[in-house]
Amino acid sequence: MINLKINALFFFIVANTIFLSQTYASDNFTILTGHILNKKSIDEQNKIHPYDVVLLPTARDFYLKEEGEEYKKIKEIQLNYLDVKYKIEYNKPAQITCKGLYSADSMFHYTNLICVVGKINYIKR
């Protein structure tokens, strides 16, 4: 009986590890690699709202564990710097460490997912 419980626990741990490796849960740091682009949105009053996104080289699926939502084929993720002043180098390959991912929840979010930036490293070619 104990062997059966240990085997079941082992299977549960392995299955969850495999599942989480195929999607990208937001309760851990998430690393995104791509190019940072500056985009603009124009509202109803013709006011321009600039924002930055990371353009991923290929579309990826993301699972937000806290929200219980899965987002498929995501190519762009808006960056939230939380008022930290980063030296942004647009159109250069970068590795961005997100302290968290969350879904768009305000009129100032222009992509399905938002990355709370923790660190940016530029990749030398």
| Structural domain boundaries, residue 12 | 2-122
Question: In CATH, what number is assigned to the domain containing residue 114?
Answer: 2.40.50
- pLDDT, tens digit, 9 for 90 and up, residues 66-100: 889 999 999 999 999 999 999 999 999 999 999 99
Nearest-angstrom CA–CA distance, 51 and 67:
24
pLDDT band at residue 2, thresholds of 50, 70 and 90?
A: low
Total domain count for the chain?
1
Nearest-angstrom CA–CA distance, 16 and 10:
10
Q: Which of 87, 77, 82 has the alpha carbon at shortest distance from 31?
A: 77
3 state SS of 35: strand
8 Å CB contact between 86 and 97? no
- pLDDT, tens digit, 9 for 90 and up, residues 16-53: 433 333 344 445 799 999 999 999 999 999 999 999 99
pTM score of the predicted model = 0.75
How many CA atoms does the CB half-sphere of 41 hold within 13 Å?
12
